Chain A
Amino acid sequence: DTGVSQDPRHKITKRGQNVTFRCDPISEHNRLYWYRQTLGQGPEFLTYFQNEAQLEKSRLLSDRFSAERPKGSFSTLEIQRTEQGDSAMYLCASSLDIYEQYFGPGTRLTVT
Chain B
Amino acid sequence: EDQVTQSPEALRLQEGESSSLNCSYTVSGLRGLFWYRQDPGKGPEFLFTLYSAGEEKEKERLKATLTKKESFLHITAPKPEDSATYLCAPKRDTDKLIFGTGTRLQVFP
Interface size of A as a range: 20 to 34
- Give chain B residues whose Cβ lies under 8 Å from the Cβ of A41: 101
- Given known A42-B87, A42-B89, A56-B95, contact A101–B46 (CB-CB < 8 A): yes
Neighbouring A residues of B97 by C-beta, 8 Å: 33, 35, 43, 45, 101
The residues of B that contact A106 with a CB separation of less than 8 Å are 41-43
Contact residues of B: prevailing secondary structure? loop
CB neighbours (8 Å) of A72 from chain B are: none
13 further A-B pairs in the complex, CB-CB below 8 A; given A40-B101, A91-B43, A101-B46: A33-B96, A42-B100, A42-B101, A43-B89, A45-B97, A48-B95, A56-B94, A56-B96, A91-B44, A98-B95, A100-B34, A101-B34, A103-B36
Residues of A within 8 A of B (CB): 4, 31, 33, 35, 40-45, 48, 55-56, 58, 91, 93, 98-106, 108
- Provide a sorted-by-A list of 23 A–B residue pairs whose CB atoms are within 8 angstroms: A33-B96, A33-B97, A35-B97, A42-B4, A42-B89, A42-B100, A42-B101, A42-B102, A43-B89, A43-B99, A45-B98, A56-B96, A91-B43, A93-B43, A100-B46, A100-B49, A101-B34, A102-B46, A103-B36, A103-B46, A104-B43, A105-B43, A106-B42
B interface residues with partner A (beta carbon < 8 Å): 4, 31, 34, 36, 41-46, 49, 87, 89, 94-102
